[in-house]
């Protein structure tokens, strides 16, 4: 008869019975970057302006819907709360961008150093080739020597 429950191993720690949530540590950073990008768009400004205008209009005109009378304290509180959350999120997004820029700059520096080293190596190799070619007899040199030898032979004959 097969076992219904798996056999518990005594040499292994037990798995915790509580529910584990798999949380991506970068998820909040990515969310803050998306939010910071959205807060800097014209679309956000348009919708926020529309919301404020509707809020003020309803609180001034619609007598039965006055939930925030004239000094608009609730609207002011909403703006303060928005600013209190937006500023740190924008700073977090900027810090993440600075980290990416720093890594990119380090990679660019390493690439530039490697390119410089490669260029210097190639320049040395070209100089060595020029020196080696200076010692090699060229076609014109050989032709000139052969012509000289032919002339010398004609003169002797």
For residue range 38-72, list pLDDT tens digits in order.
988 899 999 999 999 998 888 888 777 788 888 88
**CA-to-CA distance for 42 and 15, rounded, in angstroms?**
51
**b vs e for 14-35, b when ≥16 Cβ sit within 10 Å of the residue's Cβ?**
eeeeeeeeeeeeeeebeebbeb
User: Burial, 93: exposed, middle or buried (Cβ in 10 Å; 0-12, 13-18, 19+)?
Assistant: buried
Sign of the alpha-carbon torsion through 134, 138, 141, 142: positive
Predicted local confidence at residue 4, as pLDDT: 58
Q: Which two tokens stand for residue 150?
A: 């032919």
- Reply yes or no on whether the pLDDT at 88 is more than 70: yes
Predicted local confidence at residue 6, as pLDDT: 61
For residue range 122-136, list pLDDT tens digits in order.
999 999 988 887 777
Q: What is the mean pLDDT of residues 96-102?
A: 94
* 137 confidence band (pLDDT: 50, 70, 90): confident
pTM above 0.95, yes or no: no
Q: What is the mean pLDDT of residues 94-122?
A: 96
Smallest Cα–Cα separation from 29: which of 103, 87, 81, 95? 95
Place of tokens 């925030």: 68
For residue range 2-26, list pLDDT tens digits in order.
555 566 777 877 777 777 777 787 8
User: Domain ranges in the chain?
Assistant: 27-119
**Nearby residues of 70 by Cβ (< 8 Å), 6 or more positions away:** 59, 60
The whole-chain average pLDDT of the chain stands at: 87
Q: Which helix (H) or strand (E) holds 142?
A: helix 139-156
């Amino acid at each position: 008869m097969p076992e219904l429950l798996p056999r518990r191993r005594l040499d292994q720690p037990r798995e915790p019975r509580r529910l584990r949530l798999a949380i991506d540590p970068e998820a909040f950073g990515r969310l803050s970057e998306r939010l910071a990008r959205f807060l800097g768009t014209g679309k956000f400004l348009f919708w926020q302006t529309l919301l404020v205008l509707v809020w003020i209009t309803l609180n001034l005109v619609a007598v039965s819907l006055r939930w925030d009378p004239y000094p608009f304290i609730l609207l002011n509180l909403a703006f303060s709360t928005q600013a209190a959350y937006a500023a740190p999120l924008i700073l977090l997004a900027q810090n993440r961008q600075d980290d990416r820029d720093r890594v990119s700059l380090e990679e660019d520096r390493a690439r530039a150093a490697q390119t410089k080293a490669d260029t210097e190596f190639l320049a040395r190799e070209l100089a060595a080739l020029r020196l080696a070619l200076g010692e090699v007899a060229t076609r014109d040199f050989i032709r000139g020597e052969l012509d000289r030898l032919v002339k010398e032979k004609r003169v002797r004959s």
